[in-house]
Structure 1
């Protein structure tokens, strides 16, 4: 009888429910929508300390807001831009601290550059596709980039400056033509 009661309690516990609930990551809405597609398959969004889910939530919200900030001013009234992030690799690599502390550590070296892969789609006010494409941003010179100084107090400063540089230099023609 005790086994049945414990089994029922386990099934109804918040931990069991959390395992079955689908994870919802932040998606920024407005003229620029950022969607995080299959984040469990991303190359590296590993927390070095703390709760993994909270860390991912912070990373996705911070980078999503950067996309919005950089791209929303380029759109005409009624247009919608959707960024679908398909892969993310944060600068550095998380390594175990082997008992030196309770947390792992993120080693940032030039051999671990940041990278973001995404698809974008621009819709007009009638929801007709104007243009779309796939982008892979990888910053091999991330440690020496002067633009990262702007974000130096942010844990994601390499990724934020990488998105900023892409939005200034490498925008697709359909978006870049609006800044002239």
Structure 2
């Protein structure tokens, strides 16, 4: 019985690991307002969607997309539209194996692991004419020097990177 119990436990663990490696898939926010945000499947992103002992199924992509839409709506001139597709995201920090007493992976944030976002966008004016479009590869190599000591938002570095891009692309209002 002992061998059967071990085999059963191993099989259950293998199934659990397989199910935790699923990412959220490609998607988009529900259409509302002048800003649309969509994304590729996070499983193909530079950002790991899982570590050996860490489950990160790309569930952070939707809150990041919602933030992008909210911020863009504030800066977008009346009547204009903005369509953004997140092509790749590599969040600040990296998973480093075995850095805890239990030997599990966890995210280590160092200046050598800056946040990076690759996106495609299209900005249209009120008549539908293209104001600007293209792809941008965003990176913030000084992200740790600008961090707020009390900010605990796990997406704070990526959000600030998007804020910087929006201000450059749409201008401050």
TM-score normalised to structure 2 length: 0.71
Are 2:164 and 1:160 aligned?
no
Aligned equivalents of 1:86, 1:101: Cα separation in 2: 35
Aligned equivalents of 2:91, 2:24: Cα separation in 1: 21
Q: Is residue 25–residue 41 contact of structure 2 (8 Å, CA) maintained in 1? A: no
Q: Which runs of 4+ in 1 moved over 6 A?
A: none
- Structure 1 residue runs of 5 or longer lacking an equivalent are 1-14
Aligned equivalents of 1:73, 1:153: Cα separation in 2: 23
CA RMSD, 1 decimal: 3.0
SS of structure 2 residue aligned to 1:85: strand
Who is 1:132 aligned against?
A: 133
Name the CA shift for 1:24/1:39 in 2 (closer, same or farther; >3 Å). closer
Are 2:113 and 1:112 aligned?
yes
Who is 1:43 aligned against?
A: 46
SS of structure 2 residue aligned to 1:97: coil
Aligned equivalents of 1:22, 1:165: Cα separation in 2: 28
- Structure 2 residue runs of 5 or longer lacking an equivalent are 1-15
Q: How does 1:1-180 map to 2 (within 5 A)?
A: 23-28=24-29, 29-30=31-32, 31-47=34-50, 51-53=55-57, 56-57=58-59, 59-97=60-98, 100-101=101-102, 103-124=104-125, 129-145=130-146, 148-149=147-148, 152-168=151-167, 170-171=168-169, 175-176=170-171, 179=172
Q: Is residue 46–residue 89 contact of structure 2 (8 Å, CA) maintained in 1? A: yes
Aligned equivalents of 1:144, 1:103: Cα separation in 2: 28
User: Deviations for 1:108-150, whole angstroms, at most 9, x for unmatched residues?
Assistant: 11111110010101234565544312111101011101xx328
Name the CA shift for 1:163/1:150 in 2 (closer, same or farther; >3 Å). farther
Compare the two structures and name the one with the higher helix fraction: 1
User: Deviations for 1:51-92, whole angstroms, at most 9, x for unmatched residues?
Assistant: 432xx12x1122112211221123345533111111111111
Shift of 1:27: 2.0
Aligned residues: 151
Q: Is residue 27–residue 40 contact of structure 2 (8 Å, CA) maintained in 1? A: no
